[in-house]
Amino acid sequence: MIRVILIDDEPLARTLVREYLQAYADMEVVQECNDGFEGVKAIQQHKPDLIFLDIQMPKINGFEMLELIDEPPSVIFTTAFDEFALKAFEAHAVDYLLKPFSKDRFDKAIQKWKEQYREKKTNTTTTKAIVEEAATMPEQSQRVVIKTGSKIRIIPVNDIHFLEADDDYVRIHTADGSFLKKKTMTYFEQVLDAGLFVRVHRSYILQLAQITRIESPDNEHHLAVLKSGAKVPLSRSGYPKLKAVLGV
Amino acid sequence: MSTELTKGKIIWPYLFWWAIWCFITAWLILYAGFPFKNAIAEAILDTVSLALVGVAMFYAMKSYRPRTQNYFYLRIWVLVLAIALTIGETAALSRFFEKEVAYTGFLHRIWPLRFCYNFLMISFVSLLNWLVYYFKEQEEVKGRATAQEQLVKDAELSKLRQQLQPHFLFNSLNSISALVGSRPEESRHMIQQLSDFLRGTLRKEEQQLVTLEEELNHLRLYLDIEKVRFGHRLHTEVVCEEAGKQIKLPHLILQPVVENAIKFGLYDTTETITIKVEVTIENGYLIIKVTNPFDPKTAAPKSGTGFGLSSAQRRLYLLYARNDLMQATATENIFTTTIKIPVI
């Protein structure tokens, strides 16, 4: 039995997919979810073979939801209209359903997916690539979504004091404490607005608005002191870079 | 204010012009056979007082410009000023040169001449001032008319966009598609609502003002469609004073505001939300309040007006030449947009 989860904030949209799926005796809808939060929980609980995922949803969108799952299941995206997402799908040759879609179009998508599924070619790497690309979308680049235990937290980028490399993770320091996200520093350097954030060290990115002063204990070492009192080391190349950005 | 006189370079020709009159007056007095000091006193007193009257008029007209039907009052004013100036100047000069009998006699003889001169000068100055403001006003009116034309174009464009509002349209169609299978009656109803709504956005531009009742009906169609799409998550409340229903307001002015509230409310929380539209009449204004819940932790509404509200604000400005007719405020977890429409 192929286990399916439907994630869409519009109940009727789920009704339609469920109805279309009735023609497939080998597929079973194990859960329907109203938003990404429910989606994350359901995916972890049921470990589905396939999810139907809407992009525009409350609080966190479909891409952000996928970002929170370490091993995302294979996905068929469903969306009404989303210029950015469509471009990304085309670029990565990912199949998607444009609402409203016909039964024929739906069947084709299922056939295609089943072939890949049989050949064990589920495309989690493409999914991950799309999710990374989506992080630069204007809407998403304004916030960072993280998961600590079962709690999902949305951090507006303005609330970030600085980022610190931590093995395979990046530690995000905010006024409410620090949070880990499984990403690279390079990833954040690309996603965050270069006018607001500067990578000042191999292991540090800081928000310019948070800096109060720069301390230089000696000619070799320089530190940025933040409003929170935290001291962030500046590397040999990071120091002149920061000075140039600040215009001092 | 003073910048208008100095910056506009009006001040230099103005001073030059009075300087010429100053010389002419002085020459006339010398010509009449009086000494140099009399000529200087006369010239300076006349010219300076007239110049001051001119400046005073310039600023008086800035705050109050007589309409065509009130020109009578303007003429009265000019007459009164001319009389006052004539009496004042004659009295001041007679007093100053009271020992020179020949000159004081001369002063008393020429008062009709002085009056005519003052009257003509003040009339001329007031005409000049009036013209300056007239052309300025004309320019403003022209500017606003151009902007108004632009607005019509913008509105048309935004209507087109409205009509093709992709998310709304395709998702609505998708909902209808889902309803067809299980609840055909409801799907037919929704097709009707969607059609009526789209027709409403296609209305002719000439009918720029519509009654509040029409506007609210249009809004209700939109809200009903959204309620089908989002099911139990979306609740709406539209409250309107009976007296306000016939008041006219710009077509489709509420639409973007409510749309913004729905988007903001639905996508910023995962709970059930209520969108409220309340209409009241206060001090000659139709007050329309649209509220939606939001999450202050993650939303941080953009300063001032919020998201898709700038276009509504712009339209209000172009229609009423005022910037204070729309306000957006956030308290705790409720976002409120208030629109004030002057009741004509």
Query: What pLDDT score does A130 carry?
Result: 86
Average pLDDT score over chain A: 91
Report whether pLDDT(B321) > 70. yes
Kindly report the nearest CA distance between residue A121 and chain B, in angstroms: 30
Confidence of residue B73 (pLDDT cuts 50, 70, 90): confident
- The answer for residues whose C-beta is within 8 angstroms of residue A162's C-beta and 6 or more apart is A173, A204, A205, A206, A207, A210, A226, A230, A232
Q: What is the mean pLDDT of residues A29-39?
A: 95
CB B126 within 8 A of CB B57: yes
Lowest mean pLDDT among B133-142, B223-232, B300-309: B300-309
Q: What is the ipTM of this complex?
A: 0.84
The encoded tokens of residue A70 equal 């370490």
- The answer for residues whose C-beta is within 8 angstroms of residue A81's C-beta and 6 or more apart is A98, B166, B167, B170
The minimal CB distance from B170 to the residues A58, A100, A143 is found for A100
The encoded tokens of residue B248 equal 């006219």
HSE (side-chain half, CA atoms, 13 Å) at B152: 11
Choice between A200 and B260, residue whose per-residue pLDDT is larger:
A200
Give the model confidence (pLDDT) of B242-254 as tens digits.
Answer: 888 899 888 888 8
Query: What pLDDT score does B205 carry?
Result: 60
Percent of chain B having pLDDT more than 90?
A: 29
Give the model confidence (pLDDT) of B170-202 as tens digits.
Answer: 999 999 999 998 899 999 999 999 999 988 877
Q: What is the mean pLDDT of residues B313-323?
A: 79
Give the chain B residue whose CA is nearest to the CA of A157: B298
Report whether pLDDT(B68) > 80. no
Confidence of residue A140 (pLDDT cuts 50, 70, 90): confident
Report whether pLDDT(B308) > 70. no
Q: What is the mean pLDDT of residues A123-151?
A: 83
Report whether pLDDT(B309) > 80. no
- Crossing angle, helix B166-182 and helix A11-21, to 10 degrees? 50
Give the model confidence (pLDDT) of A45-91 as tens digits.
Answer: 999 999 999 999 998 999 999 999 988 889 999 999 887 888 888 88
Average pLDDT score over chain B: 84
Choice between B277 and B157, residue whose per-residue pLDDT is larger:
B277
Kindly report the nearest CA distance between residue A147 and chain B, in angstroms: 15
Decide if A9 and B269 are in contact by the 8 Å CB cutoff. no
Query: What pLDDT score does B6 carry?
Result: 54
The encoded tokens of residue A30 equal 């194990």
Give the model confidence (pLDDT) of B84-107 as tens digits.
Answer: 999 999 999 888 888 888 888 888
User: Cα(B307)–Cα(B197) distance, rounded to whole angstroms?
Assistant: 23
Give the model confidence (pLDDT) of B325-337 as tens digits.
Answer: 998 888 888 999 9
Kindly report the nearest CA distance between residue B295 and chain A, in angstroms: 9
Decide if A81 and B167 are in contact by the 8 Å CB cutoff. yes
Confidence of residue B5 (pLDDT cuts 50, 70, 90): low
User: Cα(A174)–Cα(A153) distance, rounded to whole angstroms?
Assistant: 12
Percent of chain A having pLDDT more than 90?
A: 65
Report whether pLDDT(B115) > 80. yes
CB A7 within 8 A of CB A53: yes
Output the pTM of the full model: 0.69
Lowest mean pLDDT among A182-186, B36-40, B234-238, B316-320: B316-320
Confidence of residue B164 (pLDDT cuts 50, 70, 90): low
User: Which class for B178: exposed (0-12), middle (13-18), buried (19 or more C-beta within 10 A)?
Assistant: buried
Query: What pLDDT score does B302 carry?
Result: 45
The encoded tokens of residue B9 equal 């370079």
Chain A residues in contact with chain B using a Cβ-Cβ cutoff of 8 Å: 9-13, 15-16, 19, 34-35, 37, 56-59, 80-81, 98-101, 143, 154, 156, 158
The minimal CB distance from B177 to the residues A16, A81, A156 is found for A16
Lowest mean pLDDT among A225-229, B239-243, B315-319: B315-319
Q: What is the mean pLDDT of residues B258-268?
A: 87
Q: What is the mean pLDDT of residues A155-178?
A: 93
Report whether pLDDT(B136) > 90. no
